[in-house]
Chains A and B, each alone.
Chain A
Amino acid sequence: MTIAEGLSFGLLGAGAFFFMAGSVGLIRLPDRFTRLHALTKADNVGLGLIVLGLMPLAADVREALKLGLIWILVVIAGATGAHLIAKRALRGDGEDAQ
C-alpha cells in the first residue's frame, strides 16, 4: 500500500464516520434546529473528507479538480439551503404540524 492509498484509506473512513454520525443525529436529536446542525456537519465535512480521500486515487489532475468542484458546489448549496430552511422554520410559515 502506497502513502497515497493509506491517506485515502483514513480520509474515507473519517468521511463515512461523519455521514453515519450525521444520520444518527438526524434521527435521534430532539428538534429541527439541532437536527439541522447534525445535517450540515454530515453534508460539508463528511463529503469533504470523502472527496479528499478520493482525490489521491483519481486518474489525473483534471478529475481530482472536478471532485473538488463538486465539493465546493455542495458546500455552497448546503449552506444556502440550511439558512433557508432555518429562516423558514423561524418564520413559522407553512409549518402545519400534523
Chain B
Amino acid sequence: MTAYLLVIALVLMLSIAIGLVRVAIGPTPSDRMMAAQLMGTSGIGVVLLLAQVVEVGGLVDVALIFALLAAVAVTAFTRRRANEREAKG
C-alpha cells in the first residue's frame, strides 16, 4: 500500500511540474494564478499522502495551511486597483 501511495504522490508531483510550465509561459496573469492554484491543490494532495507514508504528526496541519494560502493568494491577486485609488482619495 505504501508503494501505491507513493506512486499517487509521484503523479501529483508530475501535475505540479506541469503547472509550473503554465505559470512560466502565461500568457495572461490569470493563467499564471490559475496554475499556481492547481499547484497548491496538488501540494495539498502530496502532503496528505506523505502524512500517510512517513507518519509524522502535524503534516495534516500543513495541508490545512496550504488550503488557506490558496484563498489568500487569489484574493490578493484579484483586488481591484480602482477601489484602491478611490480609497486613497
Question: Is there direct touching of A and B in the complex, by C-beta distance under 8 Å?
Answer: yes
Report A's interface with B, CB cutoff 8 A: 5, 9, 12-13, 15-16, 19-20, 22-24, 26-27, 32, 35-36, 39, 42-43, 46-47, 50-51, 54, 57, 63, 66-67, 69-70, 73-74, 76-78, 80-81, 84-85, 87-89, 93-98
Interface of A is mostly: helix
Known: A12-B8, A93-B82. 12 other contacts (CB 8 A): A5-B1, A12-B4, A19-B42, A27-B18, A42-B15, A42-B38, A46-B41, A70-B64, A70-B67, A77-B74, A87-B78, A93-B80
Contact A26 B18 (CB under 8 A): yes
Report B's interface with A, CB cutoff 8 A: 1, 4-5, 8, 11-12, 14-15, 18-19, 21-22, 26-31, 33-35, 37-38, 41-42, 44-45, 48-49, 52, 60, 63-64, 67-68, 70-71, 74-75, 77-78, 80-82
Contact A20 B75 (CB under 8 A): no
Q: How far is the CA of A19 from the CA of B31 in the complex (A)?
A: 17
Contact A78 B41 (CB under 8 A): yes
**Smallest CB separation, B73 vs chain A (Å):** 8
